[in-house]
């Protein structure tokens, strides 16, 4: 085995390890890109012929696949904290307000804080809300009336 092949094996190992780091740090960043480049360079430098390079490439893919399976099994268990998966439940049972719970707003009067094109913000009884006009433009500081609550959107019209 020559110096080039030894260098190729070292580069290949570094590339595979960088890809393993990418499994732990999600988001295709430096370790993933560098790992792909190092692995490809290591495959190229390790083999003397195309056949040897293909064999080394297949072996590298198998090693990376085994590492991926192992990391999924390890991070899937509750014993080790995963950087990818949220381990805690969010507090509260209902985190979103149901449409039926917002029906009390119908008929309330308020003021447009921003221009509605057709969405914007309005203030009703001292509470700022994201609102939507009934598909037309309403100027800032206009007096508004909430006409309906539909799909968790508060629909308003200009008071007449």
The predicted pLDDT at position 46 comes to 87
Q: Tell me, what CATH number does 107's domain have? A: 2.40.50.140
How far apart CA 149 and CA 157 sit, in angstroms, is 12
87 domain residue, yes or no: no
- Answer whether residue 91 is part of any domain: no
Neighbouring C-beta atoms of residue 29, cutoff 10 Å: 11
Domain match, 106 and 71 both: no
Contacts of 142 (CB under 8 A, 6+ apart): 111, 112, 158, 159
132 contacts: CB under 8 Å, gap ≥ 6: 116, 118, 119, 120, 153, 154, 155, 156
Q: What is the pTM of this model?
A: 0.48
57 lies in some domain: yes
Mean pLDDT for all residues in the chain: 83
Task: For residue 19, give both structure tokens.
Answer: 């890809």
Mean pLDDT check: name the lowest of 21-35, 80-94, 112-126, 129-143: 80-94
Q: Would you place residue 78 in the very low, low, confident or very high pLDDT band (cuts 50, 70, 90)?
A: low
Q: Which helix (H) or strand (E) holds 37?
A: helix 30-46
Number of domains in the chain: 2
Picking from 77, 92, 147, 155, the residue whose alpha carbon sits closest to that of residue 119 is 155
62 in a structural domain: yes
For residue 131, pLDDT over 70 is answered with: yes
Confidence of residue 6 (pLDDT cuts 50, 70, 90): confident
Boundaries of domain holding 15: 3-76
Q: What is the tens place of the pLDDT at every residue in 89-122? A: 666 555 566 677 788 888 999 999 999 988 999 9
Q: How far apart are CA 55 and CA 23, in angstroms?
A: 24
**Is 88 part of a structural domain of the chain?**
no
In a 13 Å sphere around the CA of 94, the CA atoms on its Cβ side amount to 5
Contacts of 117 (CB under 8 A, 6+ apart): 137
Mean pLDDT of 53-62: 90
């Amino acid at each position: 085995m020559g110096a080039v092949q030894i260098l190729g094996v070292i580069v290949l190992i570094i590339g595979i390890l960088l890809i393993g780091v990418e499994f732990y740090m999600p988001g295709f960043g430096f370790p993933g890109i560098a790992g792909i480049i190092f692995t490809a360079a290591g495959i190229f430098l390790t083999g003397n012929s195309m056949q040897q390079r293909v064999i080394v490439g297949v072996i590298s893919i198998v090693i990376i696949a085994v590492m991926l399976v192992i990391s999924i099994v390890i991070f899937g268990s509750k014993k080790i904290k995963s950087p990818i998966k949220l381990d805690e439940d969010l507090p509260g049972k209902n985190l979103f307000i149901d449409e039926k719970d917002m029906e009390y707003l119908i008929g309330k009067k308020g003021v447009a804080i921003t221009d509605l094109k057709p969405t914007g913000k309005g203030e009703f009884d001292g509470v700022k809300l994201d609102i939507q006009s009934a598909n037309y433009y309403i100027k800032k500081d206009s007096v508004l009336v909430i006409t309906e609550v539909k799909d968790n959107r508060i629909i308003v019209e200009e008071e007449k």
